[in-house]
Structure 1
């Protein structure tokens, strides 16, 4: 009985796994994927309560009705110019893809563009990101929903110029004229910035200076000290360098939502099943606690729901949490299912038989 009390105290004191801020990105670049209805059922069966959708796929939006799943809805980069240059196009987009489904689909965010940079391959889209955000925001505001549905964009961490130590994080000089007005809008609209954060790519690009345990959340001790803050994993260091980069613009406070994070199970250096399993499992455990710079839960979207066989290069095909057959790739769970797994495991460790109410 004493052991049971200890066990119950342990789980009362710990963050409930059902409170975890975890979503999963639903990509569709595969020719062997289940129907949208099956996918939404799979989310619900696995207690995945948040979804990122990269475009307003009508079958997926229909299947999401009354599912209770919170949605980050994407505007593809290919639509940015249309929405930026014509406010009526943005109004129609919002009517067609938001209002036609609200409130039976719990749209929480609209991600206007993904990983657009003013330098490099996506630079042609950069001039359209902020005006597209503003036009979509005004269309949402006209419906009185700007407090319920936040409009933003998703960046990648290549826009950070200095990331070490994290407190000295800053954006690259050649992207400031693009990013600063976006940050200013986010402050005004009280909206978060979405960021795709991948320790895998940082590690695989520099394995000489970054250790695998640091990237996988398995380092036994602090690896990087930044003043009084100790960093035991690369995810926190990357995220805090972004927090610092935002703060160091001195424009204002902006929350960050991690709109993608994952690890491939095949197809490239360090892309193994075991590494992916360890990274994802530890990430799910970790995000309730926050970072050294920003304690508190980190809303995080795992990439991705399925292996997608039409993506390239090869490693991009292997980020799925599930196979296209709907079979789980990894043994861990999400939400309440995960809470039960942990409770049962702890009960085994304590050699406790969970008591029936009548036994108390």
Structure 2
């Protein structure tokens, strides 16, 4: 049995966070980054590996944190002792001074994505073991264990009411959703209207992706973000029936350079409108009347990111710590 500590009670006054990636060779130190969050009233952070550099800088900051466990670590967490060790090192050691809110066990793992399919067998055992470690430590009400998915798991996403998880993903995703339901934890989802727009520009108009379309689409949706979010809610309901599973938007962003539709003007429009929408109590058609906890991707442009050129241009701040879009947090 792990020792019990006094822990923070979370109050969701602010629903907007920012993801802090470190894939650059020109970025500020973690201490300077935490100071930048505080100076701009950013009260939520998603942090990726190496969290061991970020956690000491977060002590006493009052910033609520999502800790990511990288996909490469999941196989080892199939050993309950390894899960205990991870929780002791990265959660218990900081829990008195850092507001750890979520642990994301893996990111965008999918049986239909060749880049992540090798991790599929390890995800649920890792989730289970990390959850057991959190429960043994007495943190189960404060720290929620989840995973982040991408929308490629879905089929028939338009209209959103017809959405469901793909048949070839059901044996993978259904036990995970049931795990989240059982533990009263949200599903984390990375939602990118930008990729929806560039993937089907014939049918997805730019204003629809940027929250600037004047009239709803034929299904009644005023913007692509809401349609994508509700498509996941509908899929969850079809997978497991009545449930209490909420969705946290663990990433959403728009690039300022490097590809079709990627410009400072479009990105500024997207981030500002996304923040206003998430902070309002409009919610979505299927989940109306509430704010949407949303994490902007990302804090900085990251010049070492691999993949398309756009991947290097999602920052809302420049590496010199100046704001790119004059956003108000």
Kindly provide the CA deviation profile for residues 246-269 of structure 1, in whole angstroms up to 9, marking residues without a partner as x. 011134331100000000000011
Whole-Å Cα distance in 2 between the matches of residues 20 and 96 of structure 1? 28
Whole-Å Cα distance in 1 between the matches of residues 85 and 50 of structure 2? 13
Shift in Å at residue 153 of structure 1? Answer: 0.3
Counterpart position of 2:315: 320
* Aligned with 1:237 (options 222, 227, 249): 227
Kindly provide the CA deviation profile for residues 271-329 of structure 1, in whole angstroms up to 9, marking residues without a partner as x. 11100000000000001231111121110000000000001221100000000000101
Aligned residues: 312
* Aligned with 1:277 (options 268, 273, 276): 268
Whole-Å Cα distance in 2 between the matches of residues 224 and 89 of structure 1? 50
TM-score by length of 2: 0.93
* Aligned with 1:157 (options 135, 139, 151): 151
Matches within 5 A, 1:187-226: 187-225=181-219
Whole-Å Cα distance in 2 between the matches of residues 54 and 83 of structure 1? 17
TM-score by length of 1: 0.85
Counterpart position of 1:175: 169
Shift in Å at residue 20 of structure 1? Answer: 4.1
Shift in Å at residue 56 of structure 1? Answer: 4.9
Whole-Å Cα distance in 2 between the matches of residues 56 and 107 of structure 1? 15
Shift in Å at residue 168 of structure 1? Answer: 1.4
Q: What is the RMSD computed on CA atoms of the aligned residues?
A: 1.1
Tell me, which stretches of 5 or more residues in structure 1 are unaligned?
Answer: 1-17, 335-360
> Aligned pair 1:268/2:262, yes or no?
no
Shift in Å at residue 55 of structure 1? Answer: 2.4
Counterpart position of 1:110: 103
Whole-Å Cα distance in 2 between the matches of residues 113 and 332 of structure 1? 29
Q: Which structure: greater helix fraction?
A: 1
| Conserved 8 A contact 1:246-1:253 | no
Whole-Å Cα distance in 2 between the matches of residues 184 and 19 of structure 1? 29
Counterpart position of 1:90: 83
Shift in Å at residue 222 of structure 1? Answer: 1.2
For the pair shown, the structure with the greater C-alpha radius of gyration is: 1
Whole-Å Cα distance in 2 between the matches of residues 103 and 233 of structure 1? 41
> Aligned pair 1:139/2:133, yes or no?
yes
| Conserved 8 A contact 1:166-1:241 | yes
- Match of 2:201, SS state, is coil
- Match of 1:332, SS state, is coil
Counterpart position of 1:31: 25
Whole-Å Cα distance in 1 between the matches of residues 50 and 298 of structure 2? 17
Counterpart position of 1:340: none
Q: Please identify, of 117-126 and 321-330, the stretch whose mean Cα deviation from structure 2 is larger.
A: 117-126
Counterpart position of 1:48: 42
